[in-house]
Every structure is written in structure tokens, then in C-alpha cells.
Structure 1
Amino acid sequence: MPALYALVGCATIYVTFVAQMEGADSFVQFDDNATHLGMISAMSEGASYSALKTTVYPSLPADQTPFSLSSFYPNAWHIAAAIVCEALGCTAPIAENATNIALVALVYPLGTCALLGCLIGERNRAAISAGAFTCLASIAFPLRMLTVHGAFPNLAAFCCLPALAALFVSLLPTRGERLFDPRLAAGFLIASAGCALTHPNSIFTASLLLLPYLLLNYLPRLIPGQGWRRISRSHFLLLTRGLLCLAYVGMWLILFNSPLFSDIVDFVWQFSRTLPEALWNVLTAGYYARFPQYLLGALIIVGLVRALRSGSLRWVGISYILIALVFVLGLTLDYETRRLISGFWYNDPERTAAMLAIAAVPLSSLGLWSVAQVLTGTWLTLQKRLGHRPLHARRVAAAALLVAAAALTCVNFDSRPMGNEPSPFGFASDQVRRTYRFSDDQVYTARERSFVQHVKELVGEDALVLNNPFDGSAFAYAADGINVYYKSCRPSNETQESASIRMSLNEISSSRSVQDAVKKTGARYLLLLDGPKHTEGDVYTMLGDYRADVWAGLNVDDDTQGFELVLSDGVLRLYKIVCD
């Protein structure tokens, strides 16, 4: 069964993601990913492998570090990618892509396999098999998270959620002699810590997924069957559930108001939809992308009805409804109120849609299995009426599941246009093609990259090169190994030397303070690429925070005194700083 999940997962991710990339070293050119790639490169080049503190600057002399960016950040995903980078000697973009592909093609499907085995029971192999074909069926996760924002730590944490849920369900069994399995306690604690150190909001997601299991399935085992004093068992169970829910809400409010999460919950994306739109997006499994996946949505509804009618699986349906509420309310409430509901996910509908896609997998698996059961029953009945020798029921069930899975694959993953509109996976695949390439509409283009490689041959890997990070050169360090001064677009705890260079470098011929600042850094060159290419309202790319006045000192041309042109290609320039 794990082999089936791995095979289907690898095949799906290859077709929908890997085959659409321009190359193994192409990457998402968003602001967040400039930081992620820098952190991976810094770790592999000697920076700390701390799981809690990080920096985009490797072990450089202090004078070559413009910002003190070492700060708290959950770092588990960066550590995994940095190990790949260092062990194989590859660049940070290749290590990043390899890590992400392993997560979405193997970790996420295999965790889903384990979870469905816990929910349905290992004997019902047909029902578990259905999950192999549904766990990657939504474009909301993982495909959208591979292309939008570059929120890869969140992607990694979400990929681990099914395995974490499987551990929790196994840890607190609803049958057997043990109320608690101590053998799994250590594993669950380690997995929880791993998810938290990958991205903390995975723990909030896990709590929404698993709270219904605790309340509906496990808690009844702990309530005495003969009642408690004068309170009947049902009333005591209801009271206990109410108290646990109040405790959960209280903890939610405490953490919401905690300074630890203030930067996260206060971040509000200015996106809204009407309530009917949001509900329709949930029913059709289009979620935030606005591309309805009707067949997948129908399977989810069938699975939801079946789960709500089942005593042991009702909690799965309740989990989906809870997360659907987070998604819907996070899009329809006013900006101030939605912080309380979806703030732990940056009030980002892309992330809450990904959560909803993950919660839907057990339901869509149940829905696909239900379709296979209908096909099985229809075939066996037809065989009986025709007087033919009946085939073995298990073989018919397996064949029916394959037919249902093939139909789902052909319809759901079809990338051909649907009339005048692209299909969901056609849209998602096109996003990958447009994102993972070095085209002229990107911040860091193929031409600029080729120029940077020539610069590296000329000046060497260790020479410090001044740059404007917003013209794409922030990626030059991680992608091509050139030691640019500004490896991040986010000034923080800036040195005086950096402030002088950033604001007044073009005055070096007349300013002693600028001359001293450059001399202290040891920089001898200035690299200028084509840009920054900034447009108003640019919220997704790395240019959203660009301000020309903040980087005015880097406005240098061939006539600026103190700079000698060394290499050029059109508007691309490498200057040697000649002012002593």
C-alpha cells in the first residue's frame, strides 16, 4: 500500500510540477523565497544550523554584513534543504526544489496512507487505496503552495500533518485494553515538535483536525458507564465536552493576544469574498483559486455524508466543517474580526484553502470508495440476473476502484481548456511554468543570470560586490554563488556603513564618510542589473516593498565619478570602485 501511494504521488508531482519547470535550478522569485534561499545557502556555507535562529548571511567578516538579520524563525525546513545542499554540493535552488518534491510526492502521500489505515482499518485495503488517487487531487494543496508566496516552511509543515494525525489517533485508541499507548507518546511529541519547528501554525491546524476526534471518539472511553453521582453519563459527557471546548477557546484567545504571535495575527491580506461565493467555492472544491473542481467536490460531499452517518468517522466530517468555517469566515468577515478566526495563518486564504484541501482527503477517499462500491454492487447484480458465473467479489471491487480512480484521474487532472476557461490543473500547471523560469517578465532573468556568471568569473567567488537587491541580484548569491553585499531585501538592524552605501554611494568621490564605509566593507565592485521592475500594487513579487528613495545611493551610471565600467551587456553593468 505505501508503494502504491509513493508511485501515484511521484507520478502526479512529476506531471503537474516537475515537468512544467524550466530547469532543476529554477525557483520562485518572491520576496519570501529570496530570504529562504539565502538562509539555505548561509547554513550550507557555515552559518548555524539552529532550529530557532537564522540568518541569510554565512560566516562572513562582520564588516561584510549590512544587516543583523539573526532572529527567531522555525527552521526545520531550511535545515533539511541545507543538508541536501551541503551533502550533494548543489546550489540552494536545486536543494530547495528537491526537498519540496520529496515532501509533496512522498511525505504527504505516505502520511495520508498511514492516517487512512488508522481511520478505516488495515483490512479494508480498497478504501485505503482510494486515498492514493485523491490526496493530490486538489490544486489548493500542494500545487498552489509551491507557486504562490514561496511559503515553503508552511508547505513542509502541512505535508507532515497526516502523519501527525495518524500518530495521535494511534496514541489514543478507541478500542482495546489500553486507554493510552505509551509506545507512541514519544513519537507524537517528537513529531509535534518537528511540525512546530517547521511552522507553528501547523499545530493550530492539527488542533482543529484532531479536537473532534478527542471529543467524539476518545472522550467517551474515559467517562464511567454507570454515571457520576446524580448526573447521567450522557449529561456528564456533554458537560465534559463543553468544558474542553471552553478551554480550547480560552487557549486560542490567550495565544491570539500573546506577543509571540502578534506579527502573524496582525498581518491581514486585503482579500474578500461574499458569503455565497465563499460557500460555493467550498462546495465545488474550488477554494481560493476560483476554479471549481466539480467531480472532486462531489466526492467530498459524498464522503462527508458518509462520515457524518458513521459513528467512528463522524469526527472527520466535523473537522472538515470546522476548517471550512475558518476559510469562509476568514474571507467574509471584516478585516479586524477575521484576525481572530484566521490570524494564525496570516489571515491568508491560500493557506486556509490548503488546510481545507488536506482535511478533505479522507472524505474524498470515502467518496471514491463509495462510487467503487456502487459499481461493484451494480456489476454483481447484473451478473446474477444474467445468470453468469459470478466473479470473486474482491476482484470486482478492485476493478471497480481502478475504474473509478481512472475516471477521476482523466477528468480531474485534465489540463486541457474547458471551453473558454482553463481547467483547474491547466491553470495550476501554467502557474508553475510561469513561476519556475527565468523569463524576461521575472525579476531575475536568464540574461541577468548569464551576466552574473560572467561577473563571478571575473571577480571570483569571495570578492564582495555591492548591489541593489531589488533588481534581482538578491538571488545572485543563492543561485549563482556571487558574494553580493545585500543578500536580502529587508533592512533590519542596519550598520552605519550600509546606510551610507545605500543612500549615498554615488557621492563617493566627494564624501569621506562614504569612502570610509566602502573601505571598511572591503567592496571593490558594484553590480547593477536591469531593474528594479516595480509596479503599483505589486504584492506577490519581491518588489512590493521597494522604495526608490531608500536605495538612492545606488543610482550610478557611466558618468558617475568614482566608478569605472568593467563589464556591460545592454543596461547590465559591473563597475569597479576606483575612488580611494
Structure 2
Amino acid sequence: MAELPSWVTAAPLLMAAIGWFLLPGLLVAYAAGLRGVAAWGTAPVISVGSAAVGAIAAGWLGIQWGGWPALAPALALAVIAGVTRRALRKRYARASGDPWPVATAAAAGMAVALGIGVITAAGGMGSVGTVSQTYDATFHYNTIARILMIGDASSLVVGTLNVPASALSFYPAAWHSLVSLVVITTGATIPVASNIVAVTVGSVVWPLACLVLVRQMVGPSWLAAFATPIVAVGFIAYPWSLMTFGVLWPNLLGLSLVPIGLAAVISIAGLPQHGPLTRLKAAILVPVVAVTLGLAHPNTLISLAVLSMPAAAWWFGHWVRSRLLNGQALLAAVASMTVAATAAAVGVGLLTSPLFDSVRAFDWPAFVSPAGAVGEVMLWATNGKSAAWAMAGVVLVGLTAAWRRPDLRWIVPAHAISGALYVLAASLETPIAAAVTGFWYNDSYRLAAMLPITGVPLAVLGLTAIGTAVHGQWSRLTTSPPEPAVVGALATAVLVIASSGMYARDHAEFLDDAYRVTEPPFELLSPDEAAFFEIVRADSDPTAVVAQNPWSGSPLLWALTGQQVLFPHLDGEWTSDQRFLADHLRDAATDGRVCPVADKLGVRYLLVGNLDFWPWDSRINQYPGLTRPENGFRMVASDTSGNFLYELTACGGDAAGSPPNND
């Protein structure tokens, strides 16, 4: 096997991933007049949207997926923004960036956050190319492998991976588009590129998005600019849990961008106007965010809508009050009834729409009492994790500070809504709880991941409040106490120390559960299997398809070697031909129906391995025709770990045609 790069030697790959997330969006942001934190913080949502929309357009036009299709929408937006801004230059003031202390502090905080993120990932993943040993990893890895094979990364097509009978099947593919771009432009393997992009999202994109939100809330504070990125990597619920559970990479990407949308919403609502996002710029940004979130993962768009409700309610309440004070009571009453009726209709429609039936069908059992779930929210110990006492204390101070400021008070109910949704999913088995949390698959992990979206600014507000309070006490003892921001920076340093580097060790141990599994019954891919896959690559025709029981971890043969497999995921809506071979391939020598089907699907090999991933799952028994054959096959390779590769000989040398095209 080829030696995997270390985290040090993978630095150019990390820079390439960061480039794809930032550079296309920066072109648009600067053309639109944004500078400083606003430009850099909003760049990822534009870049991701450009790649996802470009992939759909390229697929529709029959253009091979790659760098130019991903850049094209951003380039078009940059031209439009630049021309429009130039035409209106007399009406709008010249763009200005952040004061240099703010910009410097933000850069320093980002550097610390990236360092903590890489250290955490290295400690949890081990090698930069370690494979995620999770159920959904097979789908995500092979989706990227298929993109590279057919040259189509459209969200309208990638879902056909495990629904091959459909010409179109929507699946939000922004994540896969970005990972495939890293593979195409750097030559990295799919697991390496996936891990690099995950670290980029958690340690660069997410902190930058939080910077935009906090900058809009508190203004040009160098303390907030420094503390925000560091605090952002300190919550286990996000980003680290979504790198482990599932694995939920599309959700990871989508949620990392929600703070940008929330910053735009509070700007439109007329809440703190300290940031560079004016109402006009925010109004233009909102649809970009909406499209991007929909193509990253639709439930993150719903997350944004839910978190925006308190800010929208604040704005509407302020508007109604002003109408009443101006003697327009009838207008206020009609508007209130209209809004209430519309909100009720939308809510009922969403809760009952058949479009969400497949999502609501998921049922994750409750695992804690309601009181226990509330305690987990307060202590940042969701899903049974260890309590983060230092972070919990800082956030509690931030909640108090936010409530005392009318322009920041909206974040308290927004945080409470996130907490309530988690409590419903984690502790209650009722129809109401299932209906309300159904948009997130009734999944406590996805709902817990929403909490840091409000938790980060609350923690920053807490650090700021601590700095102000300590400064006040200090000033009683001396005539020249340090500035509150300096004290707040010291409080940030204390938080980092008290949390042992923002809980980096705890987060790494949690990542380790998904990446370096040591219990064989839970292994998706063992070192022996990975080594055998290299033998398969060397001893088989790369144009042929390999049939296999996917519960042996064999779907990863495609992602790791480029050799296409018959069943690319652990479960799917397989065609009747695939199901027939799953039942009868080993009978090729005696069943005359097998060879025509094998020829149609391009199957020439049978891979048999140990069924050691979730061996208790009944779906493991749905492939009786893919066990070790007796006649009609020639053994090509085997090892001492129970892996065997057979060539189908009963159908003749030309039995296999070209690989199937399932798009």
C-alpha cells in the first residue's frame, strides 16, 4: 500500500481545500464592496454555493465536472456585483475594512483555531488518510468515486448511487462537489480529501462564519474577533460530533454556514447595526445562503429559519408597536392576524407535508430523562458526553449579558429553542416530539449540533462581560487597571487553559471512536482488507465490475482503488438485476439466467470477505448468491484473513461488457 501523507506533508492539500472554500467567494465579496471580516467570513457560503450550482449546471449542459464549472457562477456573480456597484458608486460610500487591531486579532484567533483543529483531528483520526468506520461513509466515499468516474457532481444525479433505476434522484451534493474538487486539483485520495475538507470546514469555515455573526452583533471589537474562532472549536456537539456520528458530512458543511445567514437576518431585522452587513447587502446575501444551504443539506436551511424566528419576531413586534404609537391600530391588527395565520399555515403545512414523510419516518429512541436532557444542554454534555464546565460557565455569563441588552436579547430565546429541540429528540417518545424534530430525522446529534451556533456568540459575550466586570473591580484597587478588552483576552486564555486546549483531547478521543476502531465486529475496513483491495486492483480488469456483499466493507473497494462495485452502499433501492445477482451469482455454472444479467451489468468478479460490520443487522443476509462459489469461478487471489477474489468463468471470456452507467 502507498504510504499515506502525514498531517505536516498534507499542508498543501489543506491550503488547496481552504482555497476552494475562500477564493471564489472572495472575488464576489470584494466586488460587492465587502471588506475585512465580512468579506472573508461570507466567502465560504458563496464558494460552496458556486460549486454546488455549477455542478448542477455542468450536469445539465453535459460539461465535465472540474474547476471551471465550479468557478463559473462565482465569476459571473463577481462581474454582476462589480458592474452594479460601479454604476451606483455615487450613491454608496466607499467600502472600508476593519480597524487593524480587529483584523490582526481575527487572524490570530483563526490561526489558533486552525492549530487546535488540526491537533484534534490528528489525535482522533491518526493518519490524514484514515477511513471513517461509519455507516454513511460508504455512500459519501463512493459518491465521490462516482463523480470522478462519470464527471457529474450534480445534486440531481448523485442520489442515484443507491437508487440506480432512477435517472434523477436529488441528494444535496455540495460536500461531494468540494471534496471531488480537492481530489481533482491535488491528486489526493478520496479518504485524504474527505478528512482534509472536514478539518477545513470545522477549523476554518465554521470559525469564519461565527466571526461574521459576532462582528454583526458586537461591532469592531478586537477581543471578540480574537476569541470567536477559538471558542468556535471548543464545543463537542459541533463540529466534532458530526465528523464522527453517521458520518454526517453534508450536515457538517451546511451548519458551518448557518451563522452567516443568521448575521444577515439580524441585519435585516434592524438588530445591532455594528457590522458591515447593511440591510441591502444582507437582503442580497440571504437568497445566496438559502440556495447554498439547500444544496449542502436542506435541514440546515430549516435550522436557520428556526434560529431566525426570535429576531424576526423582535422586528415585527417593533413594527407593530410603532404603528400603534402612530395611531395605526387597524393596520397593526390586520398585519398581526395575517402574520399569525401565515405562520400557522406554514407550520401545519411543513408538519404534515408528504415531502417530509421519509425524513419523519426515522425514529431514534429517547435515551435520557427530560431533566437529564436539560442538564446536558446546560453543561454542553449532549448525547452523554462529559460536562464542559468551563464553557458552560462562560456561556451562562453570556446569556445574562445578552438578556440585559435589548438589541442582543433575541439570542436568548434562539438558544432556548435549540435546547428545547434537543430535549424533545433526546428524552421524549411522543407524536408531537417526533413531528417537531422530524425535519432533523428526529436525531439528537443533528439537533445538538445547532446549539453552538448561538453558543459561540454567547460565550464571546460572556468573556466580554467578564472582562468588563473584572476591570470594574480592578479599578477600585488601582488607578490604571488594564482595559476591559485586555482583561477579556486574559479570560480567553484562562478558558483555553482551563479547558485543556478547548477540550482538544476529549474531542480527539471521540473522533477516535469512528476512525480507529479496534473491535472487529464494528470494523468497516480492516488493515487486511485494505491491503487485499490493492491486490484486487493489481489482479483484476479495471473496466469490470466486482460483485460483493456490501456488509463486508467491500463498497470501499471503489473509493480506494477506482474498481467499481455492484453494491456501492450498505443499503439501497437496487434494481431487479442487482437483486437477481445478489441471490444467484454463485450459481452461474448451473443457472442459465445468470450470465446474461452479469453481462448486462458488466460483472466479471466476485469478492468475498468477512461480514464483520454490524453482523447483527438482518440486511447482511440479503446476498446469499455472493458467498464463496463452487463451480464456474476461478480463484484469483486470497489471504489468510478470509478475503477471496474470484473471476467469473462460467460465462466465457467475453461475458462481461462495459461497466453499467447508472446515471
TM superposition score category, shorter chain reference? 0.7 to 0.9
Q: Which amino acid aligns with 2:557?
A: A
Task: Return 332-341 or 320-329, whichever deviates more.
Answer: 332-341
Q: Which amino acid aligns with 2:499?
A: N
Q: Which residue of 2 aligns with 1:495?
A: 576
Secondary structure in structure 1 of the residue aligned to 2:238? coil
Q: Which residue of 1 aligns with 2:533?
A: 452
1:136 to 233, 237, 242: 233
Task: Give the 3 Å change call, closer, same or farther, for CA 282–226 of structure 1 in structure 2.
Answer: closer
Q: Deviations over 1:414-469 (max 9, x none)?
A: 69xxxxxxxx6544312222322475632211111111101101114323222221
Q: Which residue of 2 aligns with 1:516?
A: 596
Q: Does 1:377 align with 2:472?
A: yes
Q: Which amino acid aligns with 1:194?
A: T
Q: Which residue of 2 aligns with 1:266?
A: 361
Q: Does 1:485 align with 2:571?
A: no
Q: Which residue of 1 aligns with 2:309?
A: 211
Task: Return 101-110 or 78-87, whichever deviates more.
Answer: 78-87
Q: Does 1:505 align with 2:585?
A: yes
Q: Which residue of 2 aligns with 1:575?
A: 646
Secondary structure in structure 1 of the residue aligned to 2:547? strand
Q: How many Å apart are 1:180 and its aligned residue? A: 7.8
Task: Give the 3 Å change call, closer, same or farther, for CA 335–461 of structure 1 in structure 2.
Answer: farther
1:50 to 146, 149, 154: 154
Q: After superposition, where does 1:386-397 map in structure 2 within 5 Å?
A: 390=480, 393-394=482-483, 397=484
Q: Which residue of 2 aligns with 1:401?
A: 488
Q: How many Å apart are 1:128 and its aligned residue? A: 4.0
Q: After superposition, where does 1:220-231 map in structure 2 within 5 Å?
A: 220-221=318-319, 224=322, 227=325, 229=327, 231=329
Contact kept in structure 2, 1:173 and 1:180, CA below 8 Å? no
Q: Distance in 1 between matches of 2:151 and 2:315?
A: 46
Please, which runs of 5 or more residues in structure 1 have no aligned partner?
59-64, 385-389, 416-423, 537-543
Secondary structure in structure 2 of the residue aligned to 1:564? strand
Q: Distance in 2 between matches of 1:294 and 1:243?
A: 45
Q: Distance in 2 between matches of 1:249 and 1:514?
A: 56
Q: How many Å apart are 1:267 and its aligned residue? A: 1.2
Task: Give the 3 Å change call, closer, same or farther, for CA 574–14 of structure 1 in structure 2.
Answer: same
Secondary structure in structure 2 of the residue aligned to 1:370? helix
1:297 to 388, 392, 398: 392
Secondary structure in structure 2 of the residue aligned to 1:50? coil
Q: Which residue of 2 aligns with 1:436?
A: 515
Q: Distance in 1 between matches of 2:164 and 2:328?
A: 70
Secondary structure in structure 2 of the residue aligned to 1:203? helix
Task: Give the 3 Å change call, closer, same or farther, for CA 562–460 of structure 1 in structure 2.
Answer: closer
Q: After superposition, where does 1:6-405 map in structure 2 within 5 Å?
A: 6-55=110-159, 68=166, 70-122=168-220, 124-174=221-271, 181-217=279-315, 219-221=317-319, 224=322, 227=325, 229=327, 231=329, 236=332, 244=339, 247-384=342-479, 390=480, 393-394=482-483, 397-405=484-492
2:607 to 527, 535, 560: 527
Contact kept in structure 1, 2:223 and 2:489, CA below 8 Å? no
Secondary structure in structure 2 of the residue aligned to 1:383? coil
Secondary structure in structure 2 of the residue aligned to 1:184? helix
Task: Give the 3 Å change call, closer, same or farther, for CA 66–55 of structure 1 in structure 2.
Answer: closer
Task: Give the 3 Å change call, closer, same or farther, for CA 402–345 of structure 1 in structure 2.
Answer: same
**Aligned-residue identity in percent:** 23
Q: How many Å apart are 1:73 and its aligned residue? A: 1.4
TM-score by length of 1: 0.86
Matched pairs, number: 542
Q: Distance in 1 between matches of 2:427 and 2:337?
A: 27
Contact kept in structure 1, 2:133 and 2:517, CA below 8 Å? no
Q: Distance in 2 between matches of 1:149 and 1:576?
A: 34
CA-atom RMSD in angstroms: 2.8
Task: Give the 3 Å change call, closer, same or farther, for CA 352–242 of structure 1 in structure 2.
Answer: farther
Q: How many Å apart are 1:27 and its aligned residue? A: 2.7
Q: Which residue of 2 aligns with 1:410?
A: 497
Contact kept in structure 2, 1:17 and 1:429, CA below 8 Å? yes
Secondary structure in structure 2 of the residue aligned to 1:270? coil
Q: Distance in 1 between matches of 2:340 and 2:324?
A: 24
Q: Distance in 2 between matches of 1:520 and 1:490?
A: 21
Contact kept in structure 2, 1:210 and 1:319, CA below 8 Å? yes
Secondary structure in structure 1 of the residue aligned to 2:478? helix
Q: Which amino acid aligns with 1:311?
A: P
Q: Which residue of 2 aligns with 1:541?
A: none
Task: Give the 3 Å change call, closer, same or farther, for CA 294–88 of structure 1 in structure 2.
Answer: same
Task: Give the 3 Å change call, closer, same or farther, for CA 338–132 of structure 1 in structure 2.
Answer: same
Task: Give the 3 Å change call, closer, same or farther, for CA 483–53 of structure 1 in structure 2.
Answer: closer
Q: Distance in 2 between matches of 1:79 and 1:545?
A: 33
Q: Distance in 1 between matches of 2:339 and 2:422?
A: 23
Contact kept in structure 2, 1:567 and 1:573, CA below 8 Å? yes
Q: Distance in 1 between matches of 2:646 and 2:382?
A: 49
Secondary structure in structure 2 of the residue aligned to 1:526? strand
Q: Distance in 1 between matches of 2:341 and 2:368?
A: 30
Contact kept in structure 2, 1:285 and 1:292, CA below 8 Å? yes
Q: How many Å apart are 1:515 and its aligned residue? A: 2.6
Secondary structure in structure 2 of the residue aligned to 1:566? strand
